Amino acid sequence: FRTAFLTSSEAGAENDATVMSRILAPLKKIAHQTNSAVLVLHHNNRARDDYAGTAAIAGNTVAMWNYRRDEDSASATLKIKTRDDDHKPITVQL
């Protein structure tokens, strides 16, 4: 994401909600106009293992997916959260 959209921005611009909204809002509009999906990958906060970041990302998404797998595990958990609901977690066996 940083390489594709923030190369001309100052360091730390990804933490600025105004900068992120200028990038994400048009992507959301394109997704709606073309009936397509835009996938934005973002890392979790290490301490909470959940999304933590600018409100611009959460505010410009329809759903947030959290995929988590412990380092030596053969299974992972996928949690999907939308504006309306937290869906039942899905277990993925590798």
In this predicted model, what pLDDT tens digit does every residue of 32-81 receive, in sequence order? 999 999 888 877 777 777 777 778 888 888 888 988 888 899 999 999 99
The predicted pLDDT at position 78 comes to: 93
Distance, CA of 53 to CA of 14 (rounded, Å): 9
- What are the Cα distances from residue 13, in Å, to 17, 56, 64? 8, 12, 21
Mean pLDDT of 26-33: 92
